Amino acid sequence: MNALEVKGLGKNYGNFALRNLSFSVPQGYITGLIGPNGAGKSTVIKTIMGMVLLEKGRISVLGQPVTGSEGSYKQYIGYISDENIYYEYLTMEQMKRIVAPFYERWDEALFTQYMELFELPKRKKIKDCSKGMKMKFAIALALAHHPTLLIMDEPTAGLDPVFRRELLDLLAEYILDENNTILFSTHLTTDLDRVADYVTFLNRGELVFSDSKDEVLEHYVIVKGSGELLDADVRRELVGVRETAVGFEALAKDRVKAQALFGDNVLLERPTLEEIMYFTAKGGKVTHV
């Protein structure tokens, strides 16, 4: 069963458009939504949350269709934005009193537990909080009503390395309940290297791939070799070639095909998600270093 299904999603802003996006988020797993800044990740999430209206396509969340008039599915979503969406002049305790009544499954004891875990003073005004504290507060609010689907838009931005690791451990614990699902949007892919089960990659408003992380990392390959190998046929098999004085580095979409094409004349390396995103975003551009 899929916790989230997106079919043929389209949205046109004139200078930017989402084009026919279709992907799913399997229930019980962590799916990373990756792409460079401006790829369309936040627009997709805001459309899922009903903050941006659908123009084309359809979305279902936990089996319920997303429409402009029905919001009951949000009872089961914990949403963490990359921006501060709370009233700055209120304290964290006052803001919590506004948010809590909207959720039928609000757990005050659990909220207090997270506030203590994150060392957040309830009486501190939100405007006086650091970016990291605001993000921790958003996480505490999101988890306190026992969401089935946790949607996180750049959640580790502004967090120190220690808490980033603690947060990833917290997410791993949350996902132990096989009914729970996480959609984790980020351009900092090192976090997803550790915790993601599936990856959906957007670039310039289009879907590059949506698959299990292990399948993606096995299929793609980094190719390093001599510049003398770069004829026209070879370039067609490579993505985002980076040339240096001693050779070239590029991404190939098919490890088996690259191995057959180059044989022992190149070095083939397993890529990271960051490298796949970097070379794909460069596209057909050739960089000389």
**Res 287: pLDDT:** 52
If DSSP codes are grouped into helix, strand and coil, which group holds residue 248? strand
Domain boundaries, the chain: 2-216, 220-288
Provide the β-strand partners of residue 33. 185, 200
Compute CA distances 1 → 9, 29, 125, whole Å: 20, 11, 42
| H/E element, 289 | none
Averages of pLDDT over runs of 10 residues in the chain (289 residues) are: 94 89 96 90 91 90 84 92 88 97 96 95 95 90 96 81 86 91 89 90 93 95 92 87 90 94 93 92 58
How far apart are the C-alpha atoms of 171 and 217, rounded to whole Å?
22
Residues in the chain: 289
Identify the CA nearest to 213 among candidates 5, 26, 81: 26
Output helix, strand, coil percentages for the chain, rounded to the nearest 5. Answer: 35, 30, 35
Res 58: pLDDT: 94
Residue 260 has a pLDDT of: 92
Residue 155 Cα distances to 127, 132, 158, 229, 289, angstroms:
19, 10, 8, 42, 34
Angle, CA 179 vertex, CA 178 and CA 182 arms, to 5°: 90
Q: What is the pTM of this model?
A: 0.90
Q: Which residue has the tokens 């603690």?
A: 166
Which of these, 285, 223, 286, lies nearest to 260 by C-alpha position?
223
* 16 and 38 Cβ atoms separated by less than 8 Å: yes
The pLDDT of residue 289 is 44
Domain 2-216: give its CATH superfamily. Answer: P-loop containing nucleotide triphosphate hydrolases (3.40.50.300)
Q: What is the token pair recorded at 179?
A: 């009914």
3-state secondary structure of 109: helix
